[in-house]
Chain A
Amino acid sequence: MKRGVILMAILWVGLDFLPAEVEFHGLLRHHSAFRIAEPSDALVLRNRLRLNSELWSGDVYGFASVDFLNDAVVDNQTELNLREAYLDIYGAWVDFRIGKQQVVWGKADGYFINDIVNPLDLSLFLLQDFDDIRMATTMLNTKFHHGNYSLELLVIPEFRPMNIDFEGNWAFRRPDSVAIPNPATSMIGEKMNIPMVYPESSLPECSVKNFEYGLKLNMFLLGTDISLIYFKAREDQPVMQKEIVINPGSALPGFEMRLTPTHPWFTFYGLNFSRPVGMWVIRGEGGYYPKRSYDTKYFTTQVDGLTEKPFFQSMVGVEYQLTADLNIAVQAIQERILDYEEAIVTDEVANLGTVLLKGSFRNETIQPMWLTLYHFSNDSYLSRIMIDWKYSDSFTITFGTDILGGRADTIFGQFDKNDNLYLKLRYDF
């Protein structure tokens, strides 16, 4: 990473001698969040200095963004992170963007259906801004365009997995042990508890055979924006390959379950659309995976405990301007495992709803927002209420709260104890 930053710096200094315009800007942001329930401890104490530089010379544009990040709750170490660094070359009918970049292909608010190009940073679950949740990936992004049509082609040599924490305040649940049929007494259905171990993930090497590819065709037809998506990639979220092995460290003959994170290939077909109808805007997304891996309830020393099934996700949403200052967006989301088997651990169908109410008052200096994601299938939820006060063009104060709830084994419910109040101070320069 440091090498990348140095290379960018050399490139920028070098380009300074070319007939190009260069600009520097950035932001300084403080983010603190405190648990509402006892012990009211800090969940986040994070300071970020972001330096952005932009360069343009005719049909060439460059952008680089570096973060200096300090998190007092995690380790109090200051990290240097190259967020994005890319070069654009614009042509009459084709544009190129090469480098570390974010690509947004979805239309949903607060949910990722077709927005699957970049892996997510869930180290603070959904507390970060979406710009920070999406992790930039190095790729070549080619865009052919003509009139109302454009075709985007992505070639992604770099694989980055999703960033999930298993320790700390926003750790995802990971069981320590599991009950399996006791081989000695399996005839009478007796079970035994064995420990679960989690080896480190081994990432695919950077070679042509591991390149990921994406295609997106965008059209404007009969007043409707339509996109068709094809994506061939590896799962960012690890699929846990299960294996029951004899525990070599055990004095007595014993077993352990080894869950090795893997990142299998998947193929994805997607569709986006949006269209205004009077005061409404209707939008939707659909994504189909012909094959995805799912955990099953059954596993033995011979079976890895996984099965492959087709999977479909869809979203239909409407947006409506309630008043000149108030906008509401409602979304219905469904996830469905096709050709379902009872042995699969995940539910066959998941239904979610989102409501986003956004205001903009006093010439956009005061902007309240209420976002709720509700998982109807397991009654878990995330509700966020926040208010932005733009004191000046440079200085913004945000105050908000995140309320999470549901059973401990649900996506939101696992953070039930993390209801928090937060404050963000942002200075742009």
Chain B
Amino acid sequence: MKLKMTQIAVFGLISMSFSVFAEELTGRDIMLKVDQQSDVRTAINDTKMTLINNRGQTREREVMRYEKSYDGAGGIDKKTLIIFNYPADIRGTGLLLWSYTDPEKDDDRWLYLPALKRIRRIAGESKNDYFMGTDFTYDDMGARNIDDDNHTLLGKEVLNGEECYKIESVAKKKNDLYSKKISWVLPEKWVIVKVEFYDKSDALLKELTVSDVRKVDNIWTGHVLFMDNFAKSHQTKIEVRKVEYNCDISDQVFTQTTLQRGRVQ
């Protein structure tokens, strides 16, 4: 299993063009298609995040993200390192995530805060916390196992002039932040272009839209992600400035040693 679906939603990864006629597909089949076409061994993203409050004031973050798929070797699905390069007061702040193929096993997470000069362990189950002031939760930022949710195909719907599959995903675990998510998937590109997140009372909590979908290294990649958090009247825009796939990344990058360095050579 390579880099996964939620990550596609969040960081615009993937989906190779896969021309099939999929009238008989179920919701899970479609999500699996999206997942299966995400045949990326590694990825490096250079992104800019803009945080926008209800008065239109903005704060900016520049973030490097490194990911490597382990295909279940040693039970590990994927390792991710996220490092903040800007602004100065959080420069060097980093998050290391190891996710596992066993859906019952919590991720291992470490957070490094340069001001404390100390690596802190974060509870693996704290997936529902918002990440570094953004409108993305740790779970949104990481990988989500396709079988963490039950997927139902609701039908097809035209979005921005393109016909999309509309799929409802309901978390199997009761403690998930969202009661359900509704995703719009482009069938030709197998890219998720919109997700609605609903809270426990089935009210619309957040809406993610993915735009500027372009091929990078023959992989369809969303370059602009916009999360509108209705509950907090706050928005986060992620612009992917540069993305590389299937490049060599040493295993050493995904260790506490690199996390503490605050940068990758």
Q: Which residues of A contact B (CB under 8 A)?
A: 25-27, 52, 56, 58-59, 61, 88, 90, 92, 95, 102, 104, 106-107, 129-131, 143, 145, 147-148, 150, 218, 220, 223, 225, 274-281, 283, 319, 321, 324, 362-365, 392-394, 396, 428-429
- CB pair A104 B89 closer than 8 Å: no
Given contacts A27-B89, A92-B252, A278-B123, whether A363 and B232 have CB atoms under 8 Å apart is yes
- CB pair B265 A281 closer than 8 Å: no
A18 to chain B, nearest CB (A): 16
Known A25-B88, A107-B118; further 7 A-B contacts with Cβ < 8 A: A27-B88, A88-B261, A218-B256, A275-B121, A278-B123, A324-B130, A363-B51
Complex Cα–Cα for A147 and B256 (A): 9
Tell me the nearest residue of chain A to B132, going by C-beta.
A364
Residues of A within 8 A of B53 (CB): 362-363, 365
- CB pair A276 B106 closer than 8 Å: yes
Residues of A within 8 A of B88 (CB): 25-27, 52, 428-429
What are 22 A-B pairs with beta-carbon distances under 8 A?
A88-B261, A90-B265, A95-B261, A104-B116, A129-B115, A130-B116, A131-B115, A143-B257, A145-B255, A150-B256, A150-B257, A223-B108, A275-B121, A276-B122, A278-B106, A279-B123, A281-B121, A283-B121, A392-B57, A393-B60, A393-B89, A394-B87
Residues of B within 8 A of A147 (CB): 251, 255
- CB pair B133 A365 closer than 8 Å: yes
A427 to chain B, nearest CB (A): 10
- CB pair B133 A364 closer than 8 Å: yes
How many B residues, CB 8 Å from partner? 42
Residues of A within 8 A of B108 (CB): 223, 276
Residues of B within 8 A of A223 (CB): 108
Number of A-B residue pairs at CB separation under 8 A: 104
Q: Which residues of B contact A (CB under 8 A)?
A: 51, 53, 57, 59-60, 87-89, 91, 106, 108-110, 115-119, 121-126, 128-130, 132-135, 177, 232, 234, 251-252, 255-257, 261, 263, 265
B220 to chain A, nearest CB (A): 30
- CB pair A279 B126 closer than 8 Å: yes
Q: Which 6 A-B pairs have the closest CB atoms?
A: A364-B133, A25-B88, A104-B117, A363-B133, A274-B121, A428-B89
Complex Cα–Cα for A274 and B87 (A): 30
Residues of B within 8 A of A52 (CB): 88
- CB pair B255 A148 closer than 8 Å: yes
Complex Cα–Cα for A319 and B129 (A): 15
- CB pair B255 A276 closer than 8 Å: no
Complex Cα–Cα for A237 and B147 (A): 57
- CB pair A56 B130 closer than 8 Å: no
Given contacts A90-B261, A363-B133, whether A281 and B234 have CB atoms under 8 Å apart is no
Residues of A within 8 A of B128 (CB): 324
Complex Cα–Cα for A129 and B125 (A): 30
Complex Cα–Cα for A362 and B89 (A): 18
